[in-house]
Amino acid sequence: DAGVTQSPTHLIKTRGQHVTLRCSPISGHKSVSWYQQVLGQGPQFIFQYYEKEERGRGNFPDRFSARQFPNYSSELNVNALLLGDSALYLCASSLDRVYTGELFFGEGSRLTVL
């Protein structure tokens, strides 16, 4: 079975641009979460979507937005990119909104902002 898939795997943008990252969860999983991992740090929670609604938001500015589609895939959008947005963006899926077990991560989208 396919795991969590993310695209693109790598991308380079310049300051001020916007970016869209995509994620497909494991089949049957209804919850998708997004995490940002800056080099040398642990992942930091950005959003959780469950049944197409935002269910949780971390401490990120409004430049960050996301949505979940009827097929449970998800997009993360970041506007007005800053150098500090350079990071690995991880998508994770789980069966339910509340995690009682493992959270499954994709391999991530590595964003470089120049």
Residues that bind other proteins (CB under 8 A): 33, 35, 40-45, 48, 55-56, 58, 90, 97-103, 105-108
Q: How far is the CB of 93 from other proteins (least distance, A)?
A: 12
Q: Compute φ and ψ for 84, nearest 5 degrees.
A: -70, -5
For the bound state, the minimum distance from the C-beta of residue 7 to other proteins, rounded and expressed in Å, comes to 14
With beta carbons less than 8 A apart as the criterion, state whether 80 and 18 touch. Answer: yes
Q: Is the peptide bond before 8 cis (omega within 30 degrees of 0)?
A: yes
Q: How far is the CB of 47 from other proteins (least distance, A)?
A: 9
Which of 33/68 has CB closer to other proteins? 33
Q: Tell me if 11 sits within 8 A of 19, measured CB to CB.
A: yes
Give the 3-state secondary structure of residue 83: helix
Between 18 and 34, name the residue whose CB sits nearer to other proteins.
34
